[in-house]
């Protein structure tokens, strides 16, 4: 039984709620990339971007995928370019599948060359569809039209027909089309493409800044290689320092709590829980870096707009330590502890997780550190995403994991509702502790 399920058995009413966040399995790339296959002249199976987060980057560029996916894919394509249309037909379905698996975040830099009548209008129409999180289905239709109809792809009322079939809010789309908003995005996309070292013209695929060949097999190879590099870097960051690397000065020891395995200790905090929320307390037995350890855990769960919100709190645990540069003393890092405990305590074995870079956070008005994460393909539990935040208060470590179910609730007001609960945290005098020296 996975650890998360083992704890859920202690709090029966929370059985479906204790989340098993997932970690992408390490990928071993082949020795050499497969040869590029010859592009087909007819579309491959249509890509489906249903149920995937679609939005816009800071510069207005369309994006699809989970924002904290470990690998970045940038597409530079021109809607009136047959080579871009062929490339899209060959790889779009794989991009959708790998984005759905939480592996990649796709950002598009849309271009046009005016080689087909009304190409600029088509590009503007796609950008305006992106305002309603529909850029990628709209791009599907535009590229299919280029392959099937050539220079007549964007004739007449086709763009309006595509907008109607996409179910767009026509008032919002029409207002965008008569504004200069899509032109600003397209101008910025042209500028950004021109500043890309590898860019000599559309199409171009960049995977973590490395170019990929334009067929699905080569794209998979390049993404696999980037995932392998990410997993190796993460594994290195999570590896505890060896005894030989111990500096003369050790970090201040954290206060740790040694509960009885059958005990349920309430954490020394208070939260303003909304109506309908409940709490459960137990102890998790973890195989930690220095041996088996009982770690107190609290789970708070209840309704949020569109679904259910959950906050898992692990507390009273020791830190791992990592060597600092330049011969400085060993340092503790709650961000690394958050990654470590995410996989140790709230993980089903066969899930996939994407975690973002570390970020500064706030819990109850106090500075914290953490990252966002997305969990998909768990064997028993539904996909979800959220964030974690850790801090030390009065010598005691606290790590909060916050997420929603179903995954779509985090696209709405639920995230702000969960943030408000976290902001209400008030830290109380700690229980009777024992001090574990040396581990952090």
Q: What is the DSSP string of 344-409?
A: HHS--TT-EEEE---EEEEETTEEEEEEEEEEE--SSS--EEEEEEEEEETTEEEEEEEEEESGGG
Q: How many whole angstroms separate alpha carbon 366 and alpha carbon 313?
A: 16
**220 shares a domain with 270:** no
CB 84 within 8 Å of CB 78: yes
For the full predicted model, state whether its pTM sits above 0.95. no
**303 shares a domain with 412:** yes
CATH number of the domain enclosing 59: 3.40.30.10
Cα–chain-centroid distance for residue 113?
34
> Is 244 inside a domain boundary?
no
What is the number of structural domains in the chain? 2
**77 shares a domain with 223:** yes
Cα–chain-centroid distance for residue 33?
27
**294 shares a domain with 208:** no
Region 294-313: mean pLDDT is: 93
**217 shares a domain with 340:** no
> Is 90 inside a domain boundary?
yes
Q: Could you tell me which residues are beta bridge partners of residue 308?
A: 303, 405
State the pLDDT at residue 325.
42
**146 shares a domain with 11:** no
Question: How would residue 415 be classed by pLDDT, with cut points 50, 70 and 90?
Answer: very high
Residue 45 has pLDDT above 60, yes or no: no
**341 shares a domain with 373:** yes
The mean pLDDT of the chain is 79
Containing domain of residue 205, as a range?
54-233
Q: How many whole angstroms separate alpha carbon 346 and alpha carbon 401?
A: 9
> Is 213 inside a domain boundary?
yes
Residue 30 has pLDDT above 70, yes or no: no
What are the tens digits of pLDDT across the range 243-255?
454 444 445 556 6
| Domain end residue (candidates: 233, 266, 294) | 233
Q: What is the DSSP letter of 21?
A: -
CATH number of the domain enclosing 370: 3.40.1000.10
> Is 320 inside a domain boundary?
yes
Q: Three-state DSSP class for 231?
A: helix
**408 shares a domain with 344:** yes
**167 shares a domain with 283:** no
| Domain end residue (candidates: 233, 267, 296) | 233
**141 shares a domain with 102:** yes
* 3-10 helix and 334-345 helix, angle to the nearest 10 degrees: 80
Residue 2 has pLDDT above 90, yes or no: no
| Domain end residue (candidates: 200, 233, 266) | 233
Residue 437 has pLDDT above 70, yes or no: no
Burial level of 362, CB count in 10 A (0-12/13-18/19+)? middle
Residue 118 CB contacts under 8 Å (≥ 6 apart), including other chains: 154, 155, 159
């Amino acid at each position: 039984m996975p650890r998360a399920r083992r704890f859920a058995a202690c709090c029966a009413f929370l059985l479906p709620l204790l989340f098993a966040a997932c970690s992408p399995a390490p990928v071993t790339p082949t020795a050499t990339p497969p040869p590029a296959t010859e592009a087909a002249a007819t579309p491959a199976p249509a890509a489906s971007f249903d149920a995937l987060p679609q939005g816009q980057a800071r510069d207005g560029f369309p994006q699809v995928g989970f924002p904290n996916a470990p690998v970045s894919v940038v597409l530079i394509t021109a809607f009136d370019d047959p080579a871009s249309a062929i490339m899209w037909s060959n790889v779009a379905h794989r991009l959708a599948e790998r984005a759905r698996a939480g592996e990649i975040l796709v950002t598009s830099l849309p271009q046009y060359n005016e080689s087909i009548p009304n190409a600029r209008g088509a590009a503007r129409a796609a950008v305006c569809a992106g305002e309603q999180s529909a850029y990628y289905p709209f791009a599907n239709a535009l590229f299919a039209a280029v392959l099937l109809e050539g220079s007549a792809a964007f004739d007449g009322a086709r763009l309006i027909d595509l907008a109607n079939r996409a179910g767009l809010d026509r008032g919002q789309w029409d207002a965008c089309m008569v504004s200069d908003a899509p032109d600003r995005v397209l101008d910025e996309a042209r500028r950004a493409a021109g500043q890309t070292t590898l860019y000599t013209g559309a199409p171009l695929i960049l995977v973590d800044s490395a170019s990929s060949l334009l067929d699905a097999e080569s794209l998979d190879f390049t993404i696999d290689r980037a995932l392998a590099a990410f997993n190796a870097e993460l594994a290195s960051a999570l590896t505890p320092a060896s005894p030989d690397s111990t500096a003369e000065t050790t970090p201040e020891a954290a206060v740790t709590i040694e509960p009885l395995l059958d005990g349920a200790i309430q954490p020394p905090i208070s939260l303003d829980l909304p109506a309908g929320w409940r709490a459960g307390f137990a102890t998790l037995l973890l195989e930690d870096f220095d041996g088996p350890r009982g770690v107190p855990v609290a789970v708070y769960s209840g309704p949020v707009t569109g679904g259910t919100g959950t906050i898992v709190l692990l507390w009273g645990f020791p830190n791992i330590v990592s060597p600092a540069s330049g011969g400085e003393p060993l340092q503790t890092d709650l961000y690394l502890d958050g990654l470590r405990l995410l996989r140790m305590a709230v993980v089903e074995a066969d899930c996939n997780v994407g975690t973002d870079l570390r970020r500064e956070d706030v819990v109850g008005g106090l500075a914290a550190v953490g990252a966002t994460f997305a969990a998909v393909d768990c064997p028993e539990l539904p996909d979800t995403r959220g964030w974690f935040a850790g801090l030390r208060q009065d010598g005691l470590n606290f790590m909060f994991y916050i997420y929603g179910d179903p995954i779509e609730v985090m696209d709405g007001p639920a995230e702000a509702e969960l943030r408000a609960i976290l902001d209400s945290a008030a830290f109380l005098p700690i229980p009777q502790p024992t001090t574990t020296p040396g581990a952090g």
